[in-house]
Amino acid sequence: MGSLYGIVQELEALFPGRKFTPDGHLVGSIGEVLAAHRYGLDLLPASAQGHDATAADGRLVQIKATQATVVGIRSAPEHLIVLKLAGDGAVSEIYNGPGALAWQHAGKMQKNGQRPIGVGRLAALMSEVSAAERLNATTIG
């Protein structure tokens, strides 16, 4: 357990302003920094309302990362990126497109203030997202 907290401290030193606490924040924060690196995003302050980053073209971006089959969204972000984090460290892009499209297909509002949408549904929605609507990855990995 001590090793995990040592890694958390290292991550927080590398990315000031991001918390990597071993709860729901860990996966989310890892997803945010991975997306920022992969897509050349500028991260907003942690817990910014509605969006996590700004793209080079000025688009505001909400970033979701999951190891499960569903993510929750609180509102329709301008742009949404959803990454799947595998147990072996592999990262795959599930969704990269307009937030309104995902919001339109999300489920009913839950008690926690989020609307769930399955990663399978998000992957299917990618066929409706044109290349021009996607953010280009600037790095491999």
Go through the domains of the chain in sequence order and give each one's CATH number: 2-133 (3.40.210.10)
Q: How far is CA 134 from the centre of its chain?
A: 14
CB-side neighbour CA atoms (13 Å) of 87 = 1
What's the mean pLDDT when you consider all of the chain?
91
Three-state secondary structure along 11-46? Answer: HHHHCCCCCCCCCHHHHHHHHHHHHHHHHCCEECCC
Mean predicted confidence (pLDDT) in 36-47 = 93
**Residue 14: how many other CB atoms lie within 10 Å:** 10
Q: Provide the pLDDT for residue 9.
A: 87
- Tell whether the model's pLDDT for residue 5 goes beyond 90: no
Question: Does the model's pTM come out above 0.75?
Answer: yes
